[in-house]
Amino acid sequence: MNPLKPLWTPTSYALEHSPMALFMKRCSERSGRIFDDYGDFHAWSVSNMREFWSEVWDECDVIGERGTEVLVDGDDMRRARFFPGAKLNFAENLLRKRGPGPALIFHGEDRVGYSVTWDELHGLVSRMQQALSILGVGRGDRVVAMLPNLPETIALMLATASQGAVWASCSPDFGVSGVLDRFAQVEPKLFVACDGYWYNGKKQGVGDKVREVAASMQVPLVIVPYAGDAETLAASIPGAVTLAGLIREFQPRAIDFDRVPFSHPLYILFSSGTTGAPKCIVHSVGGTLLQHLKEHRFHCGVGDGDRLFYFTTCGWMMWNWLASGLALGATLCLYDGSPFYPGPGVLFDYAEQERFSVFGTSAKYIDAVRKSGYRPGETHDLSAMRLLASTGSPLSPEGFAFVYEAIKGDVQLASISGGTDIVSCFVLGNPLKPVWSGEIQGPGLGMAVDVWDDTGYPVRQRKGELVCTKAFPSMPIMFWNDPGGEKYGAAYFGRFNNVWCHGDFAEWTEHDGIVIHGRSDATLNPGGVRIGTAEIYNQVERMDEVVEALCIGQEWDGDVRVVLFVRLAEGIHLDADLEQAIRTRIRTGASPRHVPAKILAVADIPRTKSGKIVELAVRETVHGRPVKNKDALANPEALSLFENLESLRT
């Protein structure tokens, strides 16, 4: 790959006729402004927020009553209110399409795939809504779900939203404490769980877990069938009922959509909770809908009939992001299980069969496919795929190269970054701009993104804090159990006054793109110089001998020293030659300051359920401090590998 040339450039058709290009033209005509390029359009979108978000509402045909005001108190990020007079319903906007075409397609391990038409989805949501009403679930009540990524999960969320109730979910691989640490905080009206799931070709039972969680929360329980044990499990829990039993007596009818204020709660999302109790982050109906419509339609080009896929569980905000694709008439392609069972081609088999338009996954997945030696572009017809999205952690230049060399040479690769805190993206793909190796294409429309140094001064092509200097619709409306807003304020506004500080270590590029160097709270500070962990990972994980790595700063002799942990490929041992090779790679590829003081081999690296490595939890363990909520980890046993390491005492 030539570093002086982009990996992908937009076609002349995209520059003229993509939804982003057409939207830019219409905004230009209506505003009387001339936008020479995306940079001009973006600058207008953040300088004229009332006009911009009004255009998004109209362009995306939001169903509801808009009201007269678009933004009140826009200069105060904490007090800003978008569309304060609006009334709308999230589910009504997602269920606008009808007909016999597929709304949802599902594939899972050890199970034949199936689809749900738009008419069938309407009917299922209607029956679920009637059942929720009988159970007393109404506006503002919380429905919590421990479910796989099934069509029934999407339908239950829509039924909940249709009532003006609030949805919160996690994946069924969470432990009892992990589930209760999240759900018990929000005092639910209803608990929904599955009867099991499959992973790596094995059926995973959840009966004991469901019984313990249900006994603790003492609310009605509904069992969704997936593993063939729903009837037996429901019969073993007093008062429990299967989903089929719950909706049996109801027939499909017109759905009664309760239109609520724009800022009414829709979702409760949870922070990872690896260093304390998970934060319960509450997102609004209108903010979530408007932000997702903007990202799907303009940044991703999603439209009616597209096949939209994201590899995610119901415990990651990308599930919520994926669900919103229904509002634009896209067919959601759902998958549950291991992305490597029975082999590395399983998701690409799915992509070829269902002709994905958009294929979304994590950076870790792309890197794992690369290291497996698998080259899906040589074995699969991926001609329908026009956008490949990556998130969860920074995608390395090596990952960029692999996509274009081994997956698809003419796909737009959209590395995106935002998170649970905003249920959307600050920076993401752009159909009007080239893709450069290692770079996110740029900021999202309406997002006043910048990079500031520690003194609050904007910096260009230097590392600093990723900030957003103006209000945006998908800011959380609150944290649950934070009535005074102190935790909310400390989380985002404690660093800079009236400016959102996201906690990412970032850098503008010469192409007006963004590079994320890792989380700010995991940034290394040897000798007082800030170093992003992603800069080290981008070097060491290119080596065939290294499967993955984790880096922390260890308090040592009045300073901080960099310690690198590596999980090595099978049959590889960390000897003096490999250690020197790692140091040389980091020194030449990054800088001498990035070279770790210690390099240690470990058998496994702990990660969250969504696949993110947990640097802070490892740092706490190394320093002998307790790590709370280990149930938030996919492999909590891995933390024990970092306890009492003799080699870290010298």
pLDDT (0 to 100) of residue 533: 83
Report strand pairing: 500-508 vs 514-519.
antiparallel
Beta bridge partners, 549, equal 566
State pLDDT tens for residues 236-291: 999 999 999 999 999 999 999 999 999 999 999 998 765 567 899 999 999 999 99
State pLDDT tens for residues 193-218: 999 999 999 999 999 999 999 999 99
204 within 8 A of 172, measured Cβ to Cβ: yes
Place of tokens 């985002």: 492
Instruction: Determine phi and psi for 345, rounding to 5 degrees.
Output: -95, 0
**Residue 311, amino acid:** F
Which pairs count as long-range contacts for 237-242, CB under 8 Å and 24+ apart, including other chains?
237/210, 237/211, 240/214
Collapsing DSSP to helix, strand or coil, 197 comes out as strand
Q: Is the pLDDT score of 609 beyond 80? A: no
**Using CA atoms, how far apart are residues 287 and 236, in angstroms rounded to an integer?**
41
More confident residue, 279 or 592: 279
Domains of the chain: 523-649 (3.30.300.30)
473 within 8 A of 290, measured Cβ to Cβ: yes
Calculate the CA dihedral of residues 80, 86, 87, 91 and round it to 10 degrees.
-70
Q: 592: pLDDT confidence band, cut at 50, 70 and 90?
A: confident
pLDDT (0 to 100) of residue 525: 67
pLDDT (0 to 100) of residue 541: 86
pLDDT (0 to 100) of residue 113: 86
Report strand pairing: 358-362 vs 307-310.
parallel
For helices 19-31 and 49-59, what crossing angle results, to 10°? 130
**Proportion of the chain above pLDDT 70, given as a percent:** 98
Closest CA relative to residue 56, chosen from 43, 69, 70, 67: 70
**Residue 141, amino acid:** D
pLDDT (0 to 100) of residue 276: 65
Q: For the whole model, what pTM was predicted?
A: 0.88
State pLDDT tens for residues 390-402: 998 889 899 999 9
Task: Say which DSSP state 198 is in.
Answer: E
Phi-psi map region of 527: left, alpha, beta (phi>0 left; psi -120 to 50 alpha): left
State pLDDT tens for residues 516-572: 988 877 767 676 666 778 888 888 888 889 999 999 888 887 777 889 999 999 999
**Using CA atoms, how far apart are residues 484 and 461, in angstroms rounded to an integer?**
38
More confident residue, 2 or 566: 566
pLDDT (0 to 100) of residue 422: 97
State pLDDT tens for residues 212-242: 999 999 999 999 999 999 999 999 999 999 9
State pLDDT tens for residues 316-359: 999 999 999 999 999 999 999 999 999 999 999 999 999 999 99
Mean pLDDT (the chain, rounded) = 93
Collapsing DSSP to helix, strand or coil, 105 comes out as strand
Q: Is the pLDDT score of 170 beyond 90? A: yes
More confident residue, 629 or 486: 486
pLDDT (0 to 100) of residue 275: 59
Q: 616: pLDDT confidence band, cut at 50, 70 and 90?
A: confident
pLDDT (0 to 100) of residue 649: 83
**Proportion of the chain above pLDDT 90, given as a percent:** 77
Mean per-residue pLDDT, 26-44 = 96
Q: Is the pLDDT score of 2 beyond 70? A: no
pLDDT (0 to 100) of residue 549: 92
**Using CA atoms, how far apart are residues 248 and 250, in angstroms rounded to an integer?**
6
More confident residue, 530 or 428: 428
Q: Is the pLDDT score of 183 beyond 70? A: yes
**Using CA atoms, how far apart are residues 428 and 510, in angstroms rounded to an integer?**
17
